[in-house]
Structure formats: C-alpha cells, structure tokens
Amino acid sequence: MAYDYEICDIAGYENVWADLLSRWGSTLPHICAIRLVPYEYSPTLQEDFKWPTFSDVIDSQGGAVRPGDMDLTADTHGVLRLTAGQIWIPAEDGLLQLRICIVGHFGVAGHRGLDTTVTAIAKRFWWADLLADVKFFVGRCLHCVSVVGGPPVSRPLGEAMHAERPNELIHWDYLFMGESSGEDKYILVIKDDASNFWGLPVVGE
C-alpha cells in the first residue's frame, strides 16, 4: 500500500493569518534533565557502614569538650558514662548519633516504631536533643509512616522499592531438611533486607 502526496510551500507573507494563528499562545518546549540516583534501601546494607564500637565512642569522647554541668565517670573500658549508666555521646558527633539511631531502630526486631526506638537508645546512650533526633530519624524511615493523632506505625514498603538484580532486596532459597515421615522435606528461607523480616514456610517436594 502506498500514498500519493504533494508538498506545497506557502510563503509566510501570503499566509500571514494562518501563520500567526498557528503560533498564537504557543509555549516553548521544556527540557528536563533526568538523572538516575541509586536509592539507599537500608543504611545497614551499605558496604561502608560500620557498626559503632567502644573504640569509636572513646575516640569521639576524647576529641570533645566535656559538659561542665554533668558528672561523667569512665568505666573499665575507658568509656565516659553518666551516673545512671548511659554512655555519653558528644553533641557535635552527628555521624555517631546517626549510627546509633540505625542500630536502635532496625536491630534484630526490625522497624520498632518511635517509642521502642527511643526507649532502646535512651536506656544505653545519652546526648543533647536525643529525643528530637530520634523523632527526626524515625519520621523519615520508609518503613514507618507518621499518622495524624498517633505514633508511627509500620507499613509495607510497596512500590518504593525497585530491585535491579536477583536477591537485591529479597533473598530466598530452599533448604533440604532430610528425609521425613511426611511429604515436607524443604524449608523455603525468605529474608527481606529492607525490613530484616524472615519467613520460613515448610514445603514439600
């Protein structure tokens, strides 16, 4: 199938009104630059993430000025603690505070909400504005959402997560448990890296 057509060129001065009307109200095209930014699903999955140690705390305390209105004593490891036993974290060491918030919020129990996270961190550590910092951290967690009139509650991560290769977010494998009296011989091991939740359903052949 083919089409026969002719191309006619009409000079602008002969078709002024059609040319003006065709341009009337036209806007210039907008060009948007698109840049792909890799999304950080969980700080604990980063290769350069290091769990805070006593050495990190001692180094941070050694380079900071002790507050004059606090009674701090060193324990057997050389870590400065308050009278109640909490470890003192200098106010200017935001990176160490962030790492402590990560451990206190994620932990083995997954995303534990604001109250549990504050309780877990305040039981072992102290720094100025601890409550405000933990609220800021938990309020920006993708796995928790702030509800009007209530505390943050867990929610499924949903479409915010996009895997680009196998086992990037959800790891799963079959584990053979040996011969059994029934048909169930395998356990399907499922681990969600974003929330640190595990599933161990029993499956058959």
Which pTM value belongs to this model?
Answer: 0.51
| Average pLDDT along the chain | 75
The listed range with the strongest mean pLDDT (74-78, 111-115, 196-200) is 74-78
> Residue 200's pLDDT is what?
86
Is the pLDDT confidence value at 30 over 70?
no
> Residue 160's pLDDT is what?
58
CA distance to 134, 177, 190, 201, 205, per residue, from 183 (Å): 48, 11, 20, 14, 7
Could you tell me the pLDDT band of residue 77, with boundaries at 50, 70 and 90? confident
> Residue 147's pLDDT is what?
39
Rounded to an integer, the average pLDDT of 64-85 is 87
CA distance to 10, 20, 194, 201, per residue, from 25 (Å): 22, 10, 49, 63
With respect to CATH, is domain 46-154 assigned 1.10.340.70?
A: yes
* 57-73: pLDDT as tens digits: 999 998 888 887 888 88
Domain boundaries, the chain: 46-154, 164-203
Is the pLDDT confidence value at 132 over 90?
yes
Backbone angles phi, psi at 106, to 5 degrees: -85, -70
* 4-17: pLDDT as tens digits: 767 666 666 666 66
d(CA 175, CA 200): 10
Is the pLDDT confidence value at 144 over 70?
no
Rounded to an integer, the average pLDDT of 96-104 is 87
> Residue 151's pLDDT is what?
54
Question: Long-range pairs for 90-93 at CB < 8 Å and ≥24 separation?
Answer: 90/60, 90/61, 90/63, 90/64, 90/65, 90/127, 91/64, 91/127, 91/128, 91/129, 92/64, 93/60, 93/64
Compare 176 and 195 and report the one with higher pLDDT: 176
